[in-house]
Amino acid sequence: MATIEQNKLLTQTGKNTPMGNLFRRYWIPALLSEEIPKPDCPPVRVKLLSEQLIAFRNTDGQVGLMDEFCAHRRVSLWFGRNEENGLRCPYHGWKYDLNGQCVDIPSEPPESTFCNKVKLTAYPCVERGGVVWVYMGPPELQPPLPEFEWALVPDSHRYVSKRLQENNYLQAMEGGIDGSHVSSLHSGELKTDPLHKGTQGAKYQSDLRPKFEVASSAGGMVIVAKRAAEPGQSYWRVTQWIMPWYTMIPPYGDHGVHGHAWVPIDDENCFAWSFTHHPTRPLNETELYSMQNGQGMYAELIPGTYKTVANKSNDYLMDRSAQNSGLYYSGVKGIGMQDASVQESMGPIVDRSLERLVSTDIAIVQARRRLLAAAEGMPNGAEPPALDPATHRVRSASFVAASDIPLSQIEEILEAKSGKAHTTI
């Protein structure tokens, strides 16, 4: 368990908090490029790490992210006019460029230079992999761009989505590195979901007593769950956790590699980003249909929003008959919504001082320690892990092998190499 004080440190991510300062040192997935699809399109509200921001694409096609509120009378710039390489407040016409600099105050005389003194907080943005990334930390410490494999493959090889989750980022992320719950919570779905059913991996997940091995990596952790397979061998599921909130899920069959990012909106809400890519081929129709229709780790969304159709207000469309029959172990349909339902059921911020942890929670304990150490080390000059893009070039894997193989012998199959297929059964 974590102490009450440790829980506060881990879950508070606003300005000038230890964890908030840590997270601002990384490039952060802020929104999908498709949310601002063309020059001078309507701006979009974005809330990250408890900061209320506005995103817009200017006339030249560049993306900016800045304080949502006009410096004059604090009107929301969501109502603004996106025109001529700037966002103009509808109230009195004050106009801002991508850098938050005020470039026009119509009511001021032509000789006035007052607007030169007005600047909103703004953050640099880049687009990569269909995502707008933002850096919210000290400008002089800006790291290189992220190089996760899913963000670098051709568009045809990748699918990216996000959904709102009404709880703190940490309990969502901890679900992503908890390899033991798959055999219970998702057991029904493994038999029916098109990206899981019929695979060897789904068959071996019936072992409810996985043995865990966790090793530190340059970017985070390598987490191995071993389940009984053929005599003398184990089914290995190797998950990557990359600081500060990325998980790479072991694959099934010839399908793509999946992953998540759990990005704080504020301390009681997060966006669950989901990524699927195949290193060596375009995603096929079966895979795309499954993802676009909210199957597997994805979820059906209310049109025009990132809120899920099944949600807390309707008890996630719980089906007790399906629960009793085993069709859905928890009565909730879909791997993504099964995860969301149990994680949101803990409350917005779970009290970790009340937990009773067991041996299969070793990865969760280690991740908490790694986050706390990184946040607490920054005031003393320590650099956060995983700023180097080389630490992003890794993969998850699934395979059958002897149980006693040292992790050092599987390092090569965990490297993300262009043109090389991933290891999966």
237 plus 195 within the same structural domain:
yes
157 plus 299 within the same structural domain:
yes
111 plus 182 within the same structural domain:
no
Task: Return the CATH number at 113.
Answer: 2.102.10.10
User: Which residue from 284, 341, 364, 377 is spatially nearest to 19, judged by alpha carbons?
Assistant: 377
241 plus 165 within the same structural domain:
yes
Cβ neighbours of 318 (radius 10 Å): 15
Whether 19 maps to a domain, the answer reads no
Domain boundary among 141, 163, 191: 141
Domain boundary among 119, 141, 163: 141
136 contacts: CB under 8 Å, gap ≥ 6: 23, 24, 28, 48, 49, 51, 123
Domain boundary among 88, 113, 141: 141
Task: Return the CATH number at 197.
Answer: 3.90.380
146 contacts: CB under 8 Å, gap ≥ 6: 27, 128, 133, 389, 392
pLDDT at 36: 98
Encode pLDDT of 307-341 as tens digits: 999 999 999 999 999 999 989 999 999 999 999 99
Whether omega before 110 lies within 30 degrees of 0, making that bond cis, reads no
What is the number of structural domains in the chain? 2
219 plus 86 within the same structural domain:
no
* Residue pLDDT tens, the chain, 425 long: 899 999 999 999 999 999 999 999 999 999 999 999 999 999 999 999 999 999 999 999 999 999 999 999 999 999 999 999 999 999 999 999 999 999 999 999 999 999 999 999 999 999 999 999 999 999 999 999 999 999 999 999 999 999 999 999 999 999 999 999 999 999 999 999 998 988 988 989 888 899 999 999 999 999 999 999 989 899 999 999 999 999 999 999 999 999 999 999 999 999 999 999 999 999 999 999 999 999 999 999 999 999 999 999 999 999 999 999 989 999 999 999 999 999 999 999 999 999 999 999 999 999 999 999 999 999 999 999 999 999 999 999 999 999 999 999 999 999 999 999 999 99
324 plus 192 within the same structural domain:
yes
Helix (H, G, I), strand (E, B) or coil at 397: strand
113 plus 182 within the same structural domain:
no
366 plus 247 within the same structural domain:
yes
pLDDT at 210: 93
Helix (H, G, I), strand (E, B) or coil at 274: strand
Whether 22 maps to a domain, the answer reads no
341 plus 214 within the same structural domain:
yes
pLDDT at 230: 86
- Please give the residue range of the domain that contains residue 137: 27-141
113 plus 167 within the same structural domain:
no
34 plus 84 within the same structural domain:
yes
98 plus 237 within the same structural domain:
no
Encode pLDDT of 30-68 as tens digits: 999 999 999 999 999 999 999 999 999 999 999 999 999
